[in-house]
Amino acid sequence: MKKILLTTLLLVTPLANAMNAVMYQPQLRDTTVSDAQWQSVLNKLKGQGIDTLVLQWTRYDDAFREGDSRAWLEHKAQLTTASGLKLVIGLAADGQFFERQLQPLPALENYLNLLRADDVSVAKRWVEVLGKNAIAGWYISSELDDRRWREPQMQQAAQDWLNKTRLSLAAVADKPVAVSSFFAGNMTPDSYSKWVTTLSLSGVKVWVQDGAGTQMLNEAERSLYLKAPSAGKVIELFRQDKQAKVFKATPAPAQYQEKWLATPVPPGQDRIYFSLRYMNAASGVLAL
């Protein structure tokens, strides 16, 4: 009987851990959002079956580092957990990450060590603010593409960095750690799948962005990459303006969003909608 019970627990545990989440990308312009407006957004999300809010970052360079902006974000996080939603804390984001990741490997490894130290520092602050029990997980804000990390030595460096970061964060609060990855056709689908597997060996959950919003690849091409054995999928709810010189996007059609929200989350797979800013729940509250 005990053996049967144990087997049952093992089978149901991945289902219990899967999240139906939305990612929120804090911007300084959002600090005009009132508590009442934020609570309204949270209520709408819960009504749509969302159970988790993922903060993409809680510090972006100097933004939200201290002062009123940090206090605003911390308070909104407290409201989120009080509303019954789980909260995954994104850590420190470096606005120059994609440039700095191009450094030669020895310099890159030093840089990754600095990123880990920043993440740990931010995590400690959040434990002070929320307490360990209110934190459902950590999110590493640095996104990993399929271009810079193609060579085996680079992939090993990424795996080592994620593993060390996971262990360092566990010493602060032992919670699941996630990172996201995206593809643009720079690896073959098979090579990308193997790389996602390699990253996963770090013990960090890899969430693969579906690429529907950036539109770098067509649907058939994307479907090949999305076969990678990830811990979850990031569903892009925006459509990028490819003609704009800086990033500009509009929300995906309402019918598209509604279809996804009505689709059950696959067993054992996290689903993360990107992002809150493009969802109807935040319309009129979070500016694009």
Q: What is the pLDDT of residues 24-49, one digit of tens each?
A: 999 999 999 999 999 999 999 999 99
Contact residues for 14 (Cβ-Cβ < 8 A; gap 6+): 267, 268
Greatest Cα pair distance in the chain: 63
Which tokens sit at 155?
A: 């992939």
Mean pLDDT of the chain: 94
Q: Give domain limits for the chain.
A: 20-282
Among the four given CATH numbers 3.60.20.10, 3.20.20.80, 3.30.450.20, 3.40.228.10, the one describing domain 20-282:
3.20.20.80
Sequence-distant (6+) residues with CB within 8 A of 270 are 18, 19, 21, 178, 205, 207, 231, 232, 233
pTM of the model: 0.94
CA distances from 244 to 218, 237, 248 (A): 20, 18, 6
Residue with tokens 């959950």: 205
Residue spans of alpha helices (H) in the chain: 2-17, 35-47, 67-82, 97-100, 105-130, 152-172, 189-200, 219-225, 254-261
Both tokens assigned to 23: 């990612």
The answer to whether the Cα torsion of 60, 65, 71, 77 is positive or negative is: positive
pLDDT of residue 246: 87
> In this structure, what token pair is assigned to residue 46?
């819960």
Question: Which residue, among 172, 83, 161, has the nearest Cα to 126 in the 3D structure?
Answer: 172
Quick one: pLDDT at residue 244? 86
Closest CA to 228 of 262, 264, 180, 261: 180
Residue 288 has pLDDT above 70, yes or no: yes
Phi, psi of 265 (to 5 degrees): -70, 130
pLDDT tens digits, residue range 44-92?
999 999 999 999 999 999 999 999 999 999 999 999 999 999 999 999 9
* Whole-number pLDDT of residue 114: 98
Q: Amino acid letter at 164?
A: K
- DSSP state at residue 63: B
Is residue 2 pLDDT above 90, yes or no?
Answer: no
Give residue 11's pLDDT: 35
Q: Tell me, what's the pLDDT at 245?
A: 85
For residues 190-197, average pLDDT: 97
Round to whole Å and give the CA distance between 230 and 193: 8
H or E segment to which residue 250 belongs: strand 249-251
pLDDT for residue 4: 39
Residue 24 and residue 275 in contact, taking contact as beta carbons nearer than 8 Å: yes
pLDDT level of residue 17 (50, 70, 90 thresholds):
low
Q: Are 169 and 177 in contact (CB under 8 A)?
A: yes
pLDDT digits (tens, 9 = 90+) for 100-138: 999 999 999 999 999 999 999 999 999 999 999 999 999
Residue 16 clears pLDDT 90, i.e. is over it: no
Do you find a cis peptide bond into 69, omega within 30 degrees of 0? no
pLDDT, one tens digit per residue, over 196-250 is: 999 999 999 999 999 999 999 999 999 999 999 999 999 999 999 988 888 889 9
pLDDT of the residue at 247: 87
Q: Residue 259 has what DSSP assignment?
A: H
Q: Greater confidence, 198 or 10?
A: 198
For residue 256, give both structure tokens: 């598209």
Do the beta carbons of residue 95 and residue 143 sit within 8 Å?
no
